[in-house]
Structure 1
Amino acid sequence: MILVGIGLARAQTETGQLVGIVMDPNGAVIPGATVTVKSVVTGAERRTTTDQMGNYVVTNLLPAVYEVTVEAPGFAPAKRRVQVTVGSRVALDFTLEVGRPVEEIEVIAEAGTLVNTETQTIAQVIDSRKIVELPTLTRNPYALVITAGNVSPADPTGRGVGVAINGLRAAGTNVLLDGAANNDEFVAAVGQSIPLDAVQEFSVITNNFTAEYGRASAGIVNVATKSGTNEFHGTVYEFNRVSAAASNSFQNNANGIEKPVFTRNQFGYSIGGPVKKEKLFFFQSTEWIRVRSLATRFVLVPTESFVAAA
């Protein structure tokens, strides 16, 4: 009898990874060095040690800025700050000096087009600042995908996130929400909408995406939601659009039709904070949309004389 065991490896598409190698000033690897990764926002810590080849890997890191400290017997500790974005694999190597003070280097990457040197994927990160400051008509975070490169608007199908990536069909876009597929497979559109205030950041991967991203032929939109921090924070909002602040359409004016009524209310809240500081956090967001509208539909009906002439 032959028994076969199959292990399931979870793709880390919603989190990031830190990888690197620790060396001495002569370029020799340092095994057994302690690598401590601490979140600047929450204070949560992760620790690992380098292997016999001096390599280390820290997985399942939420998008944030981290302080990385490396220590080894006989060497001065080294400290760096680095930003980990959604779905990224960040390479961070260290060279430890003998008998010198702690070296602290800040390596904060700006959001934008990123070429991952570990996997060669090409992606653009839309960070929290852009999400908050860029205008959107309906506060739909997926409307900001158009700001990425190799993305074109006016896809007539309304599938995917409503845009074409790399000139391919919108239905070929794979949408992820915190690492899980967020696709309505019946119509190839976004499965679950999400409030703008609940989004931490998202990446638009346009080329060379790796094996853990399935289904996609055009591109990948990978959304990460917010998490709580050591401080309570939240928002309460109401966005209102009314026909009283808009003009009538040209076609209505040409046919002597009054301006129809339109009222749209989009309101909600978000709140997050600590359950136990530096250990356990929570975040919750809810949004409601109320639309009341009337519209006139114009239909061309051929006359009898037009039909007879045809």
Structure 2
Amino acid sequence: MSDNRQHPRNIISQQNKGNYSIARSARLSVAPMMDWTNRHCRYLHRLMSQRALLYTEMITAPALVQGGAVHLLAFNTEEHPVAVQLGGSDPAELAEAARICADHGYDEINLNVGCPSDRVQSGCFGAVLMERPGLVADCVAAMIDAQRVDVTVKCRIGVDEQTPEKVLPDFLTRMRDAGVQRVAIHARKAWLQGLSPKQNRDVPPLDYPLVYHMKEMFPDLHISLNGGVENLDQGLVHLAHVDGVMIGRTAYHSPWDILGRADSRIFGVEDPVQSPQEVALAMLPYIEDHLAEGGRLHQITRHMLGLFAGRPGARGWRRVLSENAHKDGAGTEVIGAALEKVTDAAEAAE
């Protein structure tokens, strides 16, 4: 057990010396997702892939600049390459927020021009900004001028009654002219009127050919495709047409299926771990450090529930964690008990 318990630092340390290309890492990225892609989630994901680009949850520029909430930027150095996503629409405020993020050591600063929630609409950021491309261009130009880190944009193909074939080329032209070199495009419209944020993730039809065409029109831009990608096979199909693939919910709910073989299949290098069991064991030192600092077990294990998705023992694994990790005093023994359910199920299936 002692060897395994030291394993995560060994796994991650090889790529934590700045020896990576952020654009190359963007060949596969895990999308920024509110309430999900926090630092505990990212640490788990980094154990499975040394190369994929990881994103924070969206952090609003006002929270950093006006609220002083720099604690939201905390991350482990092992997470590199890691990008922060900002929300906002005031160029000066975003410039200051970008400078703060750069000072905290992030490898990329991404502007959210894709989130369709009511909250971001009322704050004039997210997908509603697709209707104001000139303002977005001013924002990213200010962010670029304020600091040295790459500034990127995550957008939709359009919103509401816009015609994507018309508005998206204009939007990308403005981003490129403002100095942006990488863009992630969610291949769906956002319907700001009539659909909930949840429906906006599924209901509007995907238009992958349009995103492919944008790469043809803008060969100098690094374009990542986002939306509806459920496995690496699909990702590889898209990579024949675009520079990168960004995967969201599937990477969270079934992280091993996406990240467990990502380094070999997407990046052509050796995978750092060989099984989800190894990942669970590798999390133990990180969990112990978190508990020693006064944290609670469920704050980490909620991100681990899908680790064995689709495999024998997955239900038992989830049940043990869900029923026990929130209890006072819960520690790494809960992980051991959950792993026993996986082992028992695997033996029964042989």
- Per the shorter chain, which TM-score range? under 0.3
Q: Which has the higher strand share?
A: 1
TM-score by length of 2: 0.25
- Identify the structure with bigger relative contact order (alpha carbons < 8 Å, sequence gap 6+): 2
Max Rg structure: 1
- Bigger fraction of residues in helix: 2
TM-score (norm 1): 0.27
